Amino acid sequence: MSSVATPDTVVAARASVAQTRPGWMFSPGVDLLVVANLAWPLIAWSTYAVTDPATTKAFGFLLAYFLLTPHRWITLLLVFGDRDKFAQRPKAFLGVAAAVVIGGWLTQWSMGTLTLLMALDYLWNAWHFTAQHSGVYGIYGRLSETKRSALIDKLVLRTFILFALVRLIGSFLPVEERGGAWLTCMAPVASTLAWCDYFVLALPAVLLAGDLFGFRTRRAGRVTYLLSVYSLYGLLLIAVRLDHTALKLGCATAATFFHSAEYLGVVSWAVQKNRGLQKQRLFAHLVPRWTMWLIAFMAFFALSAYLLKDRFFYAWVWANLVVSLLHYAYDGMIWKRPRSAKATG
């Protein structure tokens, strides 16, 4: 008999693990490192402390091409590799793909620049960050059997994170005419939001107080995750208020790392739970070896990106912007839970 795990044995093993570690997606150690990203202060400090341009550039390349960009391409595999999910809304998935590709091409062709696409990418990405963090917080809520309105959790967490990211980009917008009329108008508007800083900064404390009230061991993952997110974006908001450029860049880099590592963790968790994927030949092979193939894909992507970035730089940037927009759009479609789904679905 072969010793290679089958999809059924993987599911059984995961179910057994879940029973012995209630409230965690994987295990305390893996969750704290990959999902709650307790190492983010090290990333923020490294960016804050490094002043050598060459070192900063090298770190930025590794972060972008080994971790940040590949996680967006993985979404395409989840959409077009899952036949069952794709069959539910084929016209919607293909329509979104056509709209993004054609819209991206027309924007670049008509304007001769990628500026508008990059601006759209940042704004949509900011919302994408908020949606993902609130979604993961919701997953921990279901795993810990927390009885509280999911709508309140979403509103509070999304308001807090989105506000911090809007304040961040507002602090970098030019206030002189060389930034263009529309940027010049946006800069003072963004700065006027400063009067809301302390109020918004206090919002997640309400969620934290609710999680700590009647605290049980199975809520440890949820509480730790919220504390990590709260401290990161809270520090980012304080850095913006103090106009501390190095600290802002450090927190922004840590937030990007946090988001990407968390996404890869959630995808790994979801793939290993999805029986529909496990019945398909491709994923039946990938699921028992998911971590190995994930690392191999990221390494291949980093190498190919490095080889292409000089000769085909403009096309590479355009392609990644289009894939990023597809990533945001498809994530909003494939991660929504049906209203009738069970808590463990």
Whole-angstrom Cα distance, residue 279 to residue 270?
Answer: 14
> Which pLDDT belongs to residue 126?
92
**Which structure tokens are listed for 95?**
């329509």
Mean pLDDT by 10 residues, the chain (345 residues): 39 42 89 94 84 65 68 87 85 95 88 81 91 94 86 94 90 56 59 87 94 90 96 96 89 91 87 70 69 79 75 81 93 72 41
Whole-angstrom Cα distance, residue 180 to residue 183?
Answer: 5
> Which pLDDT belongs to residue 13?
42
CA distances from 15 to 25, 48, 331 (A): 11, 41, 25
- Residue 204 · residue 167 · CB < 8 Å: no
Whole-angstrom Cα distance, residue 345 to residue 335?
Answer: 11
Q: Over the range 161-188, which residues count as b (16 or more CB within 10 Å of their CB) and which as e?
A: bbbbbbbbbbbebeeeeeeeeeeeebbe
- In this prediction the pTM is 0.81
Report helix angle 90-111 to 115-143, nearest 10: 150
- Residue 58 · residue 251 · CB < 8 Å: no
| DSSP conformation class of 338 | P
| In the chain, domain spans | 8-334
